[in-house]
Amino acid sequence: MPIAQAEYQRFATDDVADLVEHAWVVRESTTPGREVLLPDGRGLLQVVLGGPSVRTDPLGDTREPDVSGVRGLTTRAVVRASVGRTVRLGLQLHPLAGARLGTPLTDDWVDVDAVLGTGVQAALEKLLADGSDAAAVGLAAEALAALRRHGSDELDRFAEVVRTIDDAGGLVSAADLARRAGCTVSELYRWSVRYLGIPPTEYLAAVRFSTFVREAIGPGVVGPKDVVAALQWYVRAGYPPREVERFTGLEPVELRRLAQAVGSLVDG
């Protein structure tokens, strides 16, 4: 998600489409900035130069440095605050990338070299420092392409379930998903925990929230103040609780708390 004080480039990664949805490089100025990272059910491989930058969980009030690493899919919104000049390379991972590589993570981080191999992070940092952004993306994709994949008929069936969820923006029930996949709800739950690391309801909620925010903001750059405005607008609208949860993935009380907490962090 690009932010206002940054130079943002996006790259296709068709050669590793089973693992990566797209790649990007952001070069931030020295101007302090904020970014709201949406819980869209995607993982991330990132390499960071410069800083310091910090990620804060608005509801858990936990803070951690924004550093290089590989993270599993996200289920909670996070506010990222940058202070100094930074360069970040990111590969947005397919929801099932962890399962295909044998390491589902779900909100946890591991070292880049633990996934790509020793020395790859240092090589990526050198390319970024030299301004060779496309080459850095190519090297990261090449390292991923060389990794051994895990697969099964069951994983392929669940991949269709994930595609259905994404296509529907999360607005589909677990029972309907099971019916379409020709399995029981219990089987669907087991697949989700095995291959995503979370129950299907949590993945559905994450996709709903991300879809809701993006549709509320509209096309173009998703700025932090735009996210706050969308959350506050929906809270003030006073929709029935069932509709709030159906469209945002959160109960009204949770949405109100998140809107207030994100707003406070974005305002600094």
In angstroms and rounded to an integer, the radius of gyration of the C-alpha atoms of the chain is 19
Residues 137 and 10 in one domain: yes
What range defines the domain where residue 100 resides?
Answer: 6-145
Residues 41 and 65 in one domain: yes
Residues 194 and 87 in one domain: no
Question: In the sheet that 20-28 helps form, which strands lie side by side, from edge to edge?
Answer: 6-11, 20-28, 86-93, 43-50, 69-71, 109-110
Residues 62 and 97 in one domain: yes
Per-residue pLDDT, 2? 39
Please indicate, yes or no, if residue 87 is contained in any of the structural domains: yes
pTM: 0.87
For residue 103, how far is the Cα from the chain centroid? 16
**188-227, pLDDT tens digit by residue?**
999 999 999 899 999 999 999 999 888 888 776 678 898 9
Per-residue pLDDT for 3 more than 50?
A: no
Residues 86 and 196 in one domain: no
Residues 81 and 170 in one domain: no
Length of the chain: 268
Cα separation of 169 and 247, whole Å? 9
Say if residue 104 is preceded by a cis peptide, omega within 30 of 0. no
Per-residue pLDDT for 58 more than 60?
A: yes
Cα separation of 197 and 42, whole Å? 12
Confidence of residue 51 (pLDDT cuts 50, 70, 90): confident
**Are 208 and 249 in contact, with CB atoms under 8 Å apart?**
yes
**210-219, pLDDT tens digit by residue?**
998 888 887 7
Report how far apart, in Å, the C-alpha atoms of 115 and of each of 97, 105, 111, 121, 134 are: 12, 12, 7, 10, 20
